[in-house]
């Protein structure tokens, strides 16, 4: 069963509207996933992105997300901004600095941000955790879901919600809404290596 089918199956089996902590990397990637998931979950956004370089870029992406949240005007959606610590992030990925874009460094980057989200979710009693990163054509949804499954085993109090948000016309709807809203759209993934 692929990620998209697993996701649909999990959504069908939900009882009520459970609490979901969702890792969001930027405003443009949040548009469709938030509209879609808010039908099924009580959502808290976790903006944990110490990978983004420089700090001014981090702030631009956060501002785009906040702009979109004002547009949604949904008082049930909460936003938590994790502390920014690019220096610590750099130390963790330094050994993989020469990896090509989309390689092992990116896998580690996904894992670092997703694990930070899982730790927060477990500490604060969220039933589910996921990330919007699978909406991007440049992100490996299989890797993201593999990491999510592993983290679910490591933090058994939190269930991972499988996702490939670009499927089922997700990417088309996301792009359309982004064009209409004219949100800030970055031209690199986020870290200093992708910027170079």
- Closest alpha carbon to 191 in 13, 54, 17: 54
Is residue 132 within 8 Å of 174, Cβ to Cβ?
no
| pLDDT tens per residue across span 129-184 | 999 999 998 899 999 999 999 999 999 999 999 999 999 898 899 899 888 999 99
Which domains are assigned to the chain? 3-195 (3.40.50.620)
pLDDT of 23 reads: 98
Q: How many CB atoms lie within 10 A of CB 54?
A: 10
Q: Average pLDDT, whole number, for the chain?
A: 95
CA angle 163, 168, 174 (to 5 degrees): 80
- What pLDDT band is residue 196 in, cutting at 50, 70 and 90? confident
| pLDDT tens per residue across span 94-103 | 999 999 999 9
Enter the tokens of residue 114. 């997703």
Lowest-pLDDT range of 22-31, 37-46, 171-180: 171-180
pLDDT of 126 reads: 98
Is residue 29 within 8 Å of 190, Cβ to Cβ?
no
11 Cβ partners below 8 Å, 6+ apart? Answer: 40
């Amino acid at each position: 069963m692929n990620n998209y089918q697993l996701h649909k199956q999990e959504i069908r089996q939900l009882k009520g509207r459970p609490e979901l902590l969702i890792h969001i990397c930027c405003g443009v990637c949040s548009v469709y996933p938030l509209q879609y998931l808010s039908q099924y979950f009580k959502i808290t956004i976790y903006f944990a992105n110490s990978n983004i370089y420089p700090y001014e870029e981090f702030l631009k992406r956060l501002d785009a997300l906040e702009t979109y949240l004002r547009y949604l005007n949904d008082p049930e959606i909460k936003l938590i901004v994790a502390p920014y610590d690019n220096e610590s992030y750099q130390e963790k990925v330094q050994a993989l600095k020469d990896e090509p874009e989309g390689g092992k460094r990116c896998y580690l980057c996904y894992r670092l941000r997703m694990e930070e989200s899982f730790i927060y979710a477990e500490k604060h009693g969220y039933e589910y955790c996921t990330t919007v990163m699978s909406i991007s054509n440049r992100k490996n949804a299989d890797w993201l879901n593999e990491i999510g499954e592993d983290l679910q085993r490591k933090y058994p109090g939190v269930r991972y919600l499988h996702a490939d948000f670009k499927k089922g016309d997700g990417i088309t709807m996301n792009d359309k809404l982004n064009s209409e809203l004219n949100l800030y759209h970055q031209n690199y993934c986020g870290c200093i290596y992708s910027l170079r």
